[in-house]
Structure 1
Amino acid sequence: MTPMQTVTTDDGGRIEFERHGSGPPLILLHGGMAPPEYWTPVIPHFEEYASIVPQRPGFGTCLDDPADTTAADVLDREVRYVRNLIDAVEGDPVVFGHSYGALTAIEAATGADVAAVVAYEPAVLPEDYRETAALADRMAALIEDGRRHEAVKRYVERVLHPDGIDDLDAWLADWPVWPDCVALAEEVVRMNRAVERYRLPDRLAVDAPVLVSSGTNGPDFLRQSARSVHDVLPHSRFVEFDGVGHGGPGNAPEVIAAEVETFLRNHS
């Protein structure tokens, strides 16, 4: 197991991350309920980079009391965290985010010097979908009723398996991070509420080149949003991977890494 490294920001905050290899920095931001280990199958495909994998604040580290963090603070908190990490590494990094990490990567890049951004299915809701989503409220009601497992299960159903799955309970029982996800139920609610409140602007002021991508087997609303994010970026390329779902980078690392490598070579 790679030991966690820590840097201290100018305001006294702590940033904890794993560093793999050497070379130009590649910051990997995991998504909603995926742990940092999500990137384990991805890292070997970027051997020429120093892969930097932070632990998201509130998901195991960094916060003194995550319960004090409101939904309105969640995205701002993580954007500041990523910008501080960008400042702490040597050189302008490539920032590669998945799902909620992809949204964070793009927002962080609007106020930081980065070489490029890679965003796989950023967690942005289309306006028509937002009106009926209300996932945060439904999860919060289940938690208040003492049904924490059911609350997090709703998230898995809506995001990871939107087309259904034969035996979800069996799938969850085999999912290594499931107990940790249940323990973080309140944080998942705050994250979802932040996503539901986020409004995609008419233009995202990211000067660096951005690769936005999705998979044909992912949730339709995220595929739609990925294209919408691409449309409001000034220097963006959009790619859709056939037969790949929302788990994209972790589930099909060779295919996606090859496209990312080509994109980065063309914009080096």
Structure 2
Amino acid sequence: MQAPPPDWPMSACSHVIRCRPHEWHVQITGSGPDLLLLHGAGASAHSFHPLIPHLPGYRLIMPDLPGQGYTRAGGMRRLGLDEMAEDIAALCADQGWQPAAIIGHSAGGAVALRLTEILPDVRAVVGINAALGPFQGVAGWLFPKLARALAASPFVAGAVTRLSAGRSQVERLVGSMGSTISAGGITAYQRLVSRRTHIEGTLGMMAQWQLDPLLARLPQIKLPVLLIAAARDRAVPPGVSHSSAAILPHGSYAELPGFGHLVHEEAPEQAARLILPFLQAQGMQIQNCTGAEH
């Protein structure tokens, strides 16, 4: 089993679940309608922790994506967009979870939209700096090939870990995305990038990422979708969310000024002020409570 260490953030809410082909690490807190929260590439469920106190009245279900965080991938061939969505849907069915809505950050936003084509009861999606844009120009040709080459090398993950796990390197990486997060957040990312399996899983996801088929189907996704962008995001430009919202039949767009790619960690209260009214407008009323567990 690959349970997180006792000092991992919110470890009391952690569950290790075997559901083929993966051994999942999932954090669950709160009560009410199910919300499924999906992190972006290279992160883990911990990235939603700052948001939790601002989403009372829901049961928040936060898995680590396959191969990342503390979810152990059952092989490296099911790390692409379609495969991840299929396996998350199977996990939901296995556990009896019925997400009323899905919140996805970055690549998790794309997985969330793909899941709406598989899970019939999802009523809405919130994307936070959702990675819905193809790589442009030379990068569109080079990036997938480079990621596949890196993922195929048995030495690369260890080298990336050695080069990236220093605190200053993690701080620079976060800053390069236009964000400033807490010292605890930096520590969590530092711990993640020091794990070889996490780097291997992230590289595998990058290598297998195929977004174009989903982008072509955006006009067919009929449920309400709120795409939130941060004005200072240097990883996913706000224009990506703006243009995607215009393509989605029931898409809407909101922008938060002054923050970067990790806006849900930097400004969770501001993000929640956009998320909660949107969910309630779709009929997902929160339960009466004083706050979510955390």
**What TM-score do you get using the length of structure 2 for normalisation?**
0.73
In 1, the alpha carbon distance for the partners of 2:99 and 2:236 equals 32
Amino acid at match of 2:160: R
In 2, the alpha carbon distance for the partners of 1:23 and 1:135 equals 40
Report if the CA contact (8 A) 1:118-1:211 is conserved. Answer: yes
In 1, the alpha carbon distance for the partners of 2:189 and 2:50 equals 16
Amino acid at match of 2:26: F
Aligned partner of 1:234 in structure 2 is 249
Q: CA deviation at 1:162?
A: 3.5
Aligned partner of 1:148 in structure 2 is 160
Report if the CA contact (8 A) 1:27-1:94 is conserved. Answer: yes
Aligned partner of 1:201 in structure 2 is 215
Is 1:29 aligned to residue 38 of structure 2? yes
Amino acid at match of 1:40: H
Aligned partner of 2:57 in structure 1 is 48
Amino acid at match of 1:246: H
Q: Give the secondary structure class of the aligned counterpart of 1:185.
A: helix
Aligned partner of 2:88 in structure 1 is 82
Compared CA separation, residues 178 and 211, structure 1 to 2 (3 A): same
Report if the CA contact (8 A) 2:221-2:248 is conserved. Answer: yes
Name which structure has the greater RCO, CA cutoff 8 Å, separation 6+.
Answer: 2
In 1, the alpha carbon distance for the partners of 2:142 and 2:174 equals 15
Aligned partner of 1:123 in structure 2 is 131
Size of the aligned set, in residue pairs, is 256
Amino acid at match of 2:35: L
Identity of matched residues, %: 24
Q: Give the secondary structure class of the aligned counterpart of 1:53.
A: strand
Q: Give the secondary structure class of the aligned counterpart of 1:37.
A: helix
Report if the CA contact (8 A) 1:15-1:81 is conserved. Answer: no
Aligned partner of 1:2 in structure 2 is 12
Q: CA deviation at 1:260?
A: 0.5
Amino acid at match of 1:74: G
In structure 2, the gaps of 5 or more residues are 1-10, 284-294
Report if the CA contact (8 A) 1:208-1:235 is conserved. Answer: yes
Aligned partner of 2:102 in structure 1 is 95
RMSD of aligned residue pairs (Cα, Å): 3.5
Larger mean Cα displacement after TM superposition, 75-84 or 140-149: 140-149
Residues 132-147 of structure 1: matches in 2 within 5 Å? 134=143, 137=146, 140=150, 144=156, 147=159
Q: Give the secondary structure class of the aligned counterpart of 1:176.
A: helix
In 2, the alpha carbon distance for the partners of 1:145 and 1:265 equals 43
Aligned partner of 1:181 in structure 2 is 193
Compared CA separation, residues 124 and 133, structure 1 to 2 (3 A): farther
Q: CA deviation at 1:69?
A: 1.3
Is 1:69 aligned to residue 100 of structure 2? no
In 2, the alpha carbon distance for the partners of 1:31 and 1:77 equals 16
Q: Give the secondary structure class of the aligned counterpart of 1:123.
A: coil
Deviations along 1:32-89, one digit per CA (max 9) or x if unpaired, are: 122211111111111110111112221222423xxx414x742223101322244344
Q: Give the secondary structure class of the aligned counterpart of 2:227.
A: strand
Deviations along 1:66-113, one digit per CA (max 9) or x if unpaired, are: xx414x742223101322244344544211111121111111112212
Report if the CA contact (8 A) 2:73-2:201 is conserved. Answer: no
**What TM-score do you get using the length of structure 1 for normalisation?**
0.79
Is 1:267 aligned to residue 282 of structure 2? yes
Aligned partner of 1:168 in structure 2 is none
Q: Give the secondary structure class of the aligned counterpart of 2:188.
A: coil
